[in-house]
Amino acid sequence: MGTTTVTCCYGITLTMIASAHLAGRLVCIPEPRAGNPPLSDLLEEIQKQKGTILHCVPALYAGIVNHPNMNQYDLSSLKACGSGAAPLVPNFWNKAEETEAVFRTIDGRRYFLSFR
């Protein structure tokens, strides 16, 4: 699933090319901040589509873990998450540990890739 702009190198490389390389289905989220409260539509789509890989920018990951209804969504299908455009904020890791619906890989570890 991709929430990044596909016209930037991060969006093209990690979202489009990775999806093609893995022979996966690419689900584009045109406005990830939509919904009430914000990001609800994104979380519902991840749950509905049972996405396995999510590419977002740090602001969206921060919004996800701070979502007031985060624990009402089943995000267990996510196996890997990619983050780009900026580093993840320091308190993100603490908040991710507190939430029950965390992003996990197959072996149970949490992975977030951050690069600039």
For residue 18, what is the domain's CATH number?
Answer: 3.40.50.980
- 65 located within any domain: yes
Task: Count Cβ atoms within 10 A of the Cβ of residue 42 and give its class: 0-12 exposed, 13-18 middle, 19 or more buried.
Answer: buried
Query: What's the total number of domains in the chain?
Result: 1
Could you list the residue range(s) of the whole structural domain that residue 63 is in? Answer: 1-83+108-116
Is 99 inside any structural domain? Answer: no
pTM here is 0.74
pLDDT value for 39: 92
Q: What is the pLDDT of residue 107?
A: 47
Domain presence at residue 97: no
Residue 29 in domain: yes
Q: Is residue 103, in this structure, part of any structural domain at all?
A: no
Is position 96 within any domain? no
Write out pLDDT tens, residues 21-77: 888 888 888 788 889 999 999 999 999 999 888 888 888 888 888 899 988 988 888
- Give the C-alpha separation, 38 to 6, whole Å: 22
